[in-house]
Amino acid sequence: MKKLNISVAAEPVFHIGEFPVTNSLLTSVVVMVVFLIIAVKAYFGSGKGRKKLPLWIRVVTEGVYNFLIWEYHHGEKVLVPFLRSPNASLSITIALALISVVTVQILSIKALGGKKYLGKFFNFKNPINGFVGILELISEFSKILSFSFRLFGNVFAGEVLLMVMMFLIPLIIPVPFLILEIFVGLIQALVFTMLTTIFIVVATEEHH
């Protein structure tokens, strides 16, 4: 009697030397080859050849290009993305940084009280404490800059990379970069959240 085999890991179907070729890898290669053939035919084919492409391929391709628009700047036609990540705008990242830093300060006041909170920044019992307090105050303001510019820089750089790749090689090639930027976006969200959490923990602890 035949048995049904369900495996979480992909099963190897053959080997190239010591390298196992799994069924999922084989499927991925076949799909990539098919899409590559379609892309090459669409890009290098004549106008007549392009008309023979299946309707759904043209619909999908035109749908992707509809996310891009052309505008004239200083008399020159330039490519402008119709959609853009919110965090690729410095005003959005500054707003997020302000929310994060203000939340940290509010929770710190709530946990320590107003007197102890101000004492972290304005302690003039001796010159060293006064200098350390000024540094603490500067560091709180610098968090706004570090938060906003870190997030903006990473996301904006990814947007530029995607735009350049789509402009140079509009089909197939930008897909890995898009996946990479999704991963980078998740990492940036995690970093932003973790740093805010750490700052909250540090700010709500009483200094001795």
pLDDT of residue 69: 57
Residue 56 has pLDDT above 60, yes or no: yes
Question: pLDDT category, 67, cuts 50, 70, 90?
Answer: low
pLDDT of residue 73: 62
| 177 or 45, greater pLDDT | 177
pLDDT of residue 98: 93
| 152 or 52, greater pLDDT | 152
| 168 or 189, greater pLDDT | 189
pLDDT in tens, 3-19: 545 555 667 788 888 88
Highest-scoring range by mean pLDDT, 2-16, 52-66, 73-87, 132-146: 132-146
pLDDT of residue 92: 83
pTM: predicted TM-score of the whole model, two decimal places: 0.60
What is the domain partition of the chain in residue ranges?
12-66, 86-203
Output the CA angle 205-197-131, nearest 5 degrees: 50
CA 11, CA 24: separation in Å to the nearest integer? 8
pLDDT in tens, 88-128: 788 888 888 999 999 988 988 888 888 888 877 787 777 77
Least confident of 101-110, 150-159, 163-172: 163-172
Active site residues: 146, 150, 154
| 193 or 80, greater pLDDT | 193
Task: Identify whether the C-beta of residue 193 lies closer than 8 Å to the C-beta of residue 201.
Answer: no
Average pLDDT, the chain: 76
Residue 57 has pLDDT above 60, yes or no: yes
CB-count exposure of residue 124 (10 Å: 0-12, 13-18, 19+): exposed
The alpha carbon of 84 is separated from its chain's Cα centroid by a whole number of angstroms, namely 12
CA 81, CA 58: separation in Å to the nearest integer? 20
CA 41, CA 49: separation in Å to the nearest integer? 8
Residue 77 has pLDDT above 90, yes or no: no
Residue 176 tokens read as 């890995």
Residue 82 has pLDDT above 50, yes or no: yes
